[in-house]
Structure 1
Amino acid sequence: MQFLVLVLILSLLLFYNFYWKRKSFPPGPPPLPLIGNLLELSVNPPGYSVFKKWQQKYGNIYTFWMAEKPIITINDYKTMYETFVKDGETFNGRSDIGHHMDYIRGGNYGIVFIEGEPWKEHRKFAMQVFRNFGMGRGLMEEKVGGNIAFLRCRN
């Protein structure tokens, strides 16, 4: 009897993992319980080769799993444009990967991983630093113009 209950519970977990939780997402590699596709990502370095393989197998839109979190990947410009520009309000904001960053970096920090007011403050600070080091002043244009003038004088 206990064996039958165990088999039933295991069957329900497998059904949930391989069918139910994936049914509303684009196709993708089947996730393992608890770890998702992390094993496949770590076994096949560099990681981008796995993404290329998944793109060839599942198409330009596919879902993979970071532990129990689904990640939907878009690999063509037209779909990205339609998703993020034409229908941007639906998909605005950043992914909620805070709990992963807490584990990896000890917190959800940096201009890439935050949003809202803290993001505005970080961006303002970063832009000020970039401006202090010459970004946005046309330094490249000055250098190219100087080199062209030098070459014209030589001939």
Structure 2
Amino acid sequence: CKYPDFEDWPDDLVRSKSFDFADVLEPDALNIIDYLESPENIWEIRTLLRELRDKLTTGICVVMLQKPGGRDLPYGKDWAKQLPRMVVSMEGGILKILKGKSWAQKDVNPDGLRWSFKLVGGEEFVNPTFLGKEQEY
């Protein structure tokens, strides 16, 4: 591990950026983008996600996208769901897996699995409780 503790992080590890994320992506590290703004033409979200995916080698890129309340998919809808290995939606204390391509258990499709949680201080998930699978999946 390059930085075993967050206190070891260099000052430039966290960058303030709002576009061209692929330019600073570390191909073999954990990259977190909070958040990727949807383009004017929502179908172009797929192009932005492809740029990130194509830059990765052994690394991971976690991308946050905004979504309208009451809807599972973000702005960009199915276009935002095509490329990622996993798509998760969170709203009102419920976390739901919308798509999981790499199954942890070969006989359990993760699509539709849900958990309830409480968020404390905007950063700590407490009391996660498995709720089972949503019926439509």
* TM-score normalized with structure 1 length: 0.28
Structure with greater Cα Rg = 1
* Higher strand content, 1 or 2: 2
* TM-score normalized with structure 2 length: 0.30
